[in-house]
Amino acid sequence: MPQPVDPRVLGATAAGGAVGVLARGMIVTPVGDPVTAAWVTFGVNVAGALLLGVVVGWLDDRRPLLRAFLGTGVLGGFTTYSALAVALAEGLATPWSAAGLAAASVIAGIAGAVVGLFIGRRIADRPGEIELPEDAE
């Protein structure tokens, strides 16, 4: 049976999502050229994956409201592969260049997330271990 959704977590996620979408809009919307917009969206997604890795590595299972706000909310709203897909479809002249940028986006996003997890775990001073919630300070 699915767990009921905590309204506080839902609220934190929604508030964070609004912040993330606004931040992405402020970065991508002013870009007029479709090809440039595709590259800017690529950069936003990779940066967001890196930052999400930091948040997950830093917070792990601690501070669920903060993780919902920053991770699922802010960074979930900030990054968007659907916007990248549309930008690729509109802006790039050939399907091969669009496919190449899409593949690069996924690969760079994974690499960014791995680096972010490493950084987040270093920030939390837990390089490779998972701290139990009851042991958290």
Token look-up 């300070």 returns 137
Q: How many CB atoms lie within 10 A of CB 30?
A: 9
Contact in structure between 56 and 71 (CB atoms under 8 Å): yes
52-85 as b/e: b if 16+ CB within 10 A: bbbbbbbbbeeeeeebbbbbbbbbbbbbbeebbe
Is 36 part of any known ligand binding site? no
Please state, in angstroms and rounded to a whole number, the distance separating the CA atoms of residues 65 and 78. 18
**94 in a labelled binding site:** no
Binding positions are 76, 79
Binding positions for Na(+) are 76, 79
